[in-house]
C-alpha cells in the first residue's frame, strides 16, 4: 500500500461549449452568393442586372457630358464623347 499523499493528476478544466445550432450564423456581405435554382428567378435576376448596368452607363455618360461642359473633367473623355452622340430620350407621358 502506498504511504502518504502520492502523486495525483490535476483535473482537466472543461470549457463551456455554446450550442451553435440554435443561432443562425450571419454571412459576410459579398463573400458567398448562392445562385437561385428556379428559372423564373434566374431570368428576373438577369434582367435586373442588365437594367442596372444600362442605367449606370447612361448616368455616367450624362455626368461626364455635364462635367465636360464646364471643362473640369478630362479623365472620362471617351464616355463624354459617347454621351454627346446619343440622343436624349424623353418619356411619352
Distance, in Å, from the CA atom of 18 to the CA atom of 16, rounded to the nearest integer, reads 6
Q: How far apart are alpha carbons 58 and 49 in whole angstroms?
A: 14
Would you kindly state where each structural domain of the chain is located, as residue ranges? 39-85
**What is the mean pLDDT of the segment spanning 25-40?**
75
Confidence of residue 25 (pLDDT cuts 50, 70, 90): low
Q: Is the pLDDT confidence value at 48 over 90? A: yes
* Amino acid 3: pLDDT: 72
Mean pLDDT of 72-93: 66
Amino acid at each position: 500500500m502506498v504511504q502518504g499523499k502520492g502523486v495525483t493528476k490535476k483535473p482537466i478544466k472543461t470549457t463551456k461549449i455554446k450550442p451553435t445550432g440554435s443561432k443562425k450564423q450571419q454571412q459576410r456581405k459579398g463573400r458567398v452568393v448562392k445562385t437561385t435554382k428556379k428559372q423564373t428567378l434566374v431570368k428576373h435576376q438577369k434582367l435586373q442586372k442588365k437594367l442596372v448596368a444600362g442605367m449606370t452607363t447612361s448616368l455616367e455618360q450624362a455626368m461626364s457630358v455635364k462635367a465636360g461642359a464646364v471643362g473640369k473633367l478630362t479623365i472620362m473623355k471617351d464616355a463624354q464623347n459617347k454621351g454627346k452622340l446619343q440622343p436624349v430620350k424623353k418619356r411619352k407621358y
